[in-house]
Amino acid sequence: MSTQKLIAPSMLAADFANLQQDITLVNESEANWFHLDVMDGVFVPNISFGMPVVKAIAKHAKKPLDVHLMIVDPDRYIQTFADLGADVLTVHAEACNHLHRSLQSIKDADMKAGVALNPHTPISSLTHIISDIDLVCIMSVNPGFGGQSFIEATYEKVRELRSLIEKNNANTLIEIDGGVTNKNASQLVKAGADVLVAGSYVFSATDPTSTIENLSAQVNE
């Protein structure tokens, strides 16, 4: 039996004026994780939210917090996000000069260690470090904004990463972030994805709860 595929709604697309309502929605849905996008306006050309908002979400969230740091020099904040209650902490490979050390610090702070790859960053950059990674987040859009279109070259990256994981007998999860909808979800899972992040597809829907339920059913049938 294959393992359960996870759905992680991105709160970047939630209604920030009614955040608690959208947190409750995710709590009561079939979603597995909360995906939280932290952007600094330097690593990516946008600023989203920081510690106070993560803290507020953590207070009400009843599911694991999957925190995606789109910031330069993320080592500065690893302990801070651990203290805020992050369960998975993902840093960008492109933002870390010493990725192995960053991953070690994340694990030392009792979180799962994730690495995100921008669309242009090859899977081969992880060849010698794959066994140290709990989750690889393959960016299927350029990071910085929700609501962008899915980059088709992602499927090939997923297949390549799946084979690297198998070759090394690693336990790494493959997460896809950006432009995920019911149109590409099945193909992504077929290529080897384990976790699907979905922002605008979920929160722009008339019925986000059933959108999450249907997406989960679609990839877990």
Q: Active-site positions? A: 37, 177
What are the residues binding Zn ion (CB under 5 A)? Answer: 37, 68, 177
Are 50 and 38 within 8 A, CB to CB?
Answer: yes
By CB under 6 A, residue 68 contacts ligand DX5? yes
113-151 burial: b if 16+ Cβ within 10 Å, else e: bbbbbbeebebeebeeebebbbbbbbbbbebbbbeeebb
- Residues 149-188, one symbol each (x = binds ligand DX5 by CB under 6 A, - = not), give ----------------------------xxxx--------
Among 6, 10, 106, 114, binds ligand DX5 (CB under 6 A): 10
Pick from 140, 164, 162, 165: which is nearest to 153 by CA? 140
Shortest distance (Å) from residue 212 CB to ligand DX5? 12
| Residues 93-132, interacting with ligand DX5 (CB under 6 A) | none
- Choosing among Zn ion, ligand DX5, none, which partner's interface includes residue 12 (Cβ < 5 to 8 Å by kind)? ligand DX5
The sign of the torsion formed by the CA atoms of 144, 146, 149, 153 equals positive
| 92 contacts ligand DX5 (rule: CB under 6 A) | no
* Angle subtended by helix axes 19-27 and 208-220, to nearest 10: 30
Q: What is the dihedral of CA 200, 204, 208, 210, to 10 degrees?
A: -100
81 forms part of the interface with ligand DX5 (CB under 6 A): no
Given 6, 7, 12, 54, the residue binding ligand DX5 (CB under 6 A): 12
* Region for 196 from its dihedrals, namely left if φ exceeds 0, alpha if ψ lies in -120 to 50, beta otherwise: beta
74 contributes a contact to ligand DX5 by CB under 6 A: no
Nearer to ligand DX5, 42 or 100 (CB): 42
Report how many residues bind ligand DX5 under the rule CB under 6 A.
21
